[in-house]
Chains A and B, each alone.
Chain A
Amino acid sequence: GAVVSQHPSWVICKSGTSVKIECRSLDFQATTMFWYRQFPKQSLMLMATSNEGSKATYEQGVEKDKFLINHASLTLSTLTVTSAHPEDSSFYICSARALTGGLNTGELFFGEGSRLTVL
């Protein structure tokens, strides 16, 4: 199946610093990627839809200036948590759909996730 790679898998940073998380589709092109946030023992909450070559679409309540998303190529999307604070500590997971011949296969492939801890 398709592979989505996410890096780093875990990161610890000081309050006030920025952290960048990368999400790559390794063997397919993804015009759309999704960023989710997951708190302990909770479900995956969609933060934003990352669109290649255009601005991301953010879900209600997600601060676009705090969570910067860039989708510069068909295989890479990045999430930057700016001026991180302890409440930003969470598990962030990206995902992408594999497109075959222009058709949306439907299956969503997830990255390994990035556990962010802000001290």
Chain B
Amino acid sequence: GENVEQHPSTLSVQEGDSAVIKCTYSDSASNYFPWYKQELGKRPQLIIDIRSNVGEKKDQRIAVTLNKTAKHFSLHITETQPEDSAVYFCAAEWGNTPLVFGKGTRLSVIA
């Protein structure tokens, strides 16, 4: 089955700096890669996703890149703000199979 590795587990950045979180996946058939943001005690919220036919996708300060050959994808947050502090999860899936999540990255943006 699919296995998703996520790094780093914790990340602290100064406000205004960029944050990068990286994930690798094992199943080359996976074709959908979402990123979720989860604040303490709340449900995960989709912030951006990318499909395997695209190499990069951007939405304002958030971008995701995908390297299918290397089987890794990354989340980039620019101009970080304190409200970006949360736990971020990457995930991967193929077809209608359940999402497999990475272990999460706790991002702290220091004002």
Chain A residues in the interface with B (C-beta under 8 A) = 32, 34, 41-44, 46, 49, 93, 97, 104, 106-113, 115
Cβ-defined contact, B43 with A93, below 8 A: yes
Given A42-B104, A43-B101, A111-B43 contact (CB < 8 Å): yes
- Which of A41, A42, A97, A110 lies in contact with B43, CB distance below 8 A? A110
B42 contacts A by Cβ under 8 Å: yes
User: What is the bound-complex CA distance between A109 and B89, given in angstroms?
Assistant: 14
Within 8 A of A (CB), among B83-111: 89, 93, 95-96, 98-104, 106
In this complex, the member of A43, A107, A111 whose beta carbon has the largest number of chain B beta carbons within 10 angstroms is A43
List, in ascending order, chain A residues with CB within 8 A of B99's CB: 34, 46, 108
B46 contacts A by Cβ under 8 Å: yes
List, in ascending order, chain B residues with CB within 8 A of A113's CB: 41-43
- Which of A42, A44, A46, A106 lies in contact with B49, CB distance below 8 A? A106
- Which of B43, B96, B102 lies in contact with A104, CB distance below 8 A? B96
Size of B's binding interface in residues, CB under 8 A: 22
The main secondary structure of chain A at its interface with chain B is strand
User: What is the bound-complex CA distance between A86 and B54, given in angstroms?
Assistant: 45
- Which of A44, A107, A111 lies in contact with B46, CB distance below 8 A? A107
List, in ascending order, chain B residues with CB within 8 A of A44's CB: 44, 89, 101
- Residue on A nearest B33 in the bound complex, by CB: A106
- Residue on B nearest A57 in the bound complex, by CB: B98
List, in ascending order, chain A residues with CB within 8 A of B51's CB: 106
List, in ascending order, chain B residues with CB within 8 A of A111's CB: 43
Cβ-defined contact, B103 with A43, below 8 A: yes
